[in-house]
Structure 1
Amino acid sequence: MTEREVVVAALVVAVAAGLAIGAPWWLSVGSVVAAAVIRRPVVVMAALAVAAGVLGARAEAGLTAPSGRVEGVATLVTDPQPRPGGVVVELRLSGRRFRSFVGEDLSAQLRQAAMGEEVLVRGSVVELDGPWEWRASRHLAGRLRVLAIERVGPGDWWWTAANWVHRTVDSGLGSFDEAERSLFSGILFGDD
């Protein structure tokens, strides 16, 4: 492909992803196979457009969740953040991400929890307020009003390993003052 064709392909992908037009998965796979076999720039652009549209539609579909009661094992996708009256946490339940404020009465279960750990949760899903762009950037489908929560396990091994590294580094920062500790942790682990 020439440079001009690459630029056109990038624009086509951006438009297709923005439109997020859904299509059957087999159409996406078929177009990619056709592009690999035929190897013509127009066919490659068409395959990229179909794939981007399908993936965009799937991503947007994950931003909505039916309201109602839910129960199951959820994975924490953020570390619980202390707030006045409880903690704020994002979790994944049944393939969707939710933001939740867990009140003081239940937050003791989460105070020492870390991202990647699993919790048994019962609650109800409601619409999440806030700008669409912010919700989309966080992949949030709604707000989960937690009625009961209980830690059930450390989660997958890679989260356990990452949390071990995080806790080990944190324990080694004991000689730093609060500002230095915060700066060093932000540089090393990211600042959210």
Structure 2
Amino acid sequence: MEDLNFKLLLDKVSTQIEGSEWLKNLSDEHHDSFTDFSIIEGIIIRGHILVEKSLVKSISEAIYRNDEFYPEKLSFSQKVTIARMLGISVFVKKEVNALNKLRNQIAHTLEFDEQYIDEIINGIKKKDLENKYPKNRIQSLKMAISFICFTISVESQYSQLGQAMKGIDYLKKLESK
């Protein structure tokens, strides 16, 4: 019912404006863009946000002066670069890049290339030892994104442990001198 009322309102407004056919076509296109938003697009956008949050949390935990870390001033790609410099997100690099490409395609063109979804799912399937992904593509994508977030968190913990071990080794060398 709301869709019909919206279209009737647009028709009424567009007939009162010069060049109304152009406006009506533009309005129809915009209306269709909102009503055609798919579940998978929502998963991609939400998944991108979750991965970004995982990156920010992991970077914040890994750097010494996190009070000088302002993630809101950085792009997603910059956060990924910093994470990689800290040894985080390396294991899922291709999948994180594919997710970012999907998000950018949706954000800038309202369309996306299905091959990136396959790249994420198939790439994670090869890395996930349990590899119990359903045939349902939507569920598989959700699981793959969850695996990416988990991996970022685990890599962060190992990175911090590695840094601590290097510090301990350094202190032991100093003590032995």
Superposition TM-score, scaled by structure 2 size: 0.24
More strand by share: 1
Instruction: Report 1 or 2 for greater relative contact order, CA contacts < 8 Å, sequence distance ≥ 6.
Output: 2
Q: Which has the higher helix share?
A: 2
Instruction: Calculate the TM-score normalised by the size of structure 1.
Output: 0.22
- The higher radius of gyration belongs to 2
